[in-house]
Structure 1
Amino acid sequence: MSYNLVAKTLRGALFGSALTAAGVYLPSVIIDQMYLQDFHMMKVFLTASAASAIILTVLSKSYKSLKPRSPSNLGWLGSYDGNIIGGALIGVGMTLTGSCPGTVYLQVASAIASGVPVLLGGLFAGFVYFGTAPYLKTAAAKREKSDESQNCVYSKLHTDPSTTLLAFEALMMGAIVLSSQQPSAPYLLNPIVGGLLVGLSQLASVLLSGQGLGISGSYEEFGAWIWYFIDTIRGQQPKTRPSFGNIHFALSAMLGTYLMRQQFPEFAIGDSMPISNERAFLGGFLMIFGSRMAGGCTSGHGITGMSMLSVSSIISVAAMFGGGMGLGLLMRSGLIG
């Protein structure tokens, strides 16, 4: 077994085990966050983003510099319309399923009942998105080239990068303190510690593979393989053979969760929140289709992109929580069943 394969497997396994230890793979934790009833997930998420920002900044000066995410421009409403629409769909899917694009895999590995239909909905979305992606963008959007020098907040605002990073850290710390004043059910691991573990998995990811965290590409990659086989069966020669890297990362994350639960049974928590198969499948589809429209998910945009002060990532994350919490409020009020 080559070092590269071991490194990539370890990268995914560490990410999966960190999310498991942090407890943010549980449907009840995610749905209660969107209902504004429990802020455990928010504290983990904000801590992971703050830690990741420091880690990526240090690594960019001494080891590896990652590129901030470009806008997802569909040409419908503006330069960031894909980030806004896709982000909102992710949030809606999260509220319906109690999952994130990454935690779906962990739920399946944890034998959580809703995990399988959510995953099936997500894989179907990857298949549909890969087949329809060329038609989602207008001709003008396809011709437009993004100015990479304007992808970060400090470039847009013409501020000093270090000062902007300090402001981001202060904002994250303030949000963590504020969310700590809100109700939160006790969990085995303090959410701040859980967030730091996720941040450390970001460090491991860059050191082991030169890549930041991100998992929603695995669904599109799955779709690419299905279309590849369909074209082969039709006798059409596919232009390129799809890669397997994102799927490998997702499977490795599942392995990390499985091993974590085996070695530390106290983290093998069940979740009895009832979610119908139809709701799970629909939510999984919307969540993954949205993540591909936005060019990332809660890990790719939320932990990696936002920590690099990427404008598109910040917009995507705001849309995620706006869409998810908006639907949560409607569901709690009884306006939507």
Structure 2
Amino acid sequence: MISQKHRVFFEVARQLSFTKASQILYISQSAISKQIKALEEYYKTGLFERHGNTISLTPAGKLIYEKLEAVQEIQNELHQQMPLLSEDFKPQVTLVLGASTTISLYILPPVLSAYLTQHPQVQLSLKNRNSENILKALLDHDIDLGIIEGINKVSQVTYTPFLTDEVIAVCSHRNPIKKHNLQVQDLYNIPLAIREAGSGTLAVLEDALVQRGIKLAQLPVRVRLGGTEALKNFVRVDTCLAFLPRQAVVKELASGELVEVNIKDFEVHRTFNFIQRKGTENNAPYKNFIQFMKRQYSKME
């Protein structure tokens, strides 16, 4: 087990922020500073360089951070392998996954069912969070494989393409706007309901708007809701326009509860990727799982 000082250093180095590390570890910033100072005294060298309100790792800091990453991997392997020594051990593979809301709710259930049918020795654990928090869970070693929207350009992570989805504008069937063919400029005058910060759906929407010269902050956002289901249920009874994954509203569009609203020359597409920590790509259970997922989903399309 690594020491408390090293755990604190690791989180500050990962976040490159004393404030964020303090919030994650539930430790005061002064306590974090003391731990870092003690570690610097122990190694007799500085670990961070201060640049006004930002920090960066010194060469010594980078070395320690890389070594601590390796230690965490060893700890995880040890945790998985120790049960093998037990006389009561029954061969079983445990896969710890994380996926963003759309994938967890609308894509994975039938695919996971098919996988478990063929692999009865596997036990699955799935965490459902928005894309930002799935990435954080991977870096924190809470999960070993994630599926998120887009690519966040994190150097410690490898990305493997999975599938492409579309985000569409929808409104209640009682909303008069359903009868109109909109221009993207009309969004300046239409109340919107959108996902919370950190959502992959929101991120791709913002990117698509920027490509048309529009900033989300300029639009009349009435409400931000955490989760696809919450947003879907809200727009069903409200006059707002919402942007939701097509996969999430298939039933509501078919029943007529929601109506797709056409916005001329404005399309929002997103790519989902498997994410893994670098160095774990050849882990056999996860490699096989990814291959199965891609084959199975291609059959469902």
Same fold (TM over 0.5): no
| Greater helix proportion | 1
Higher share of residues assigned strand: 2
Structure having the higher Rg: 2
Q: Which has the higher contact order (CA 8 A, sep 6+)?
A: 1
TM-score scaled to structure 2, two decimals? Answer: 0.26
Query: TM-score, normalised to structure 1's length?
Result: 0.24
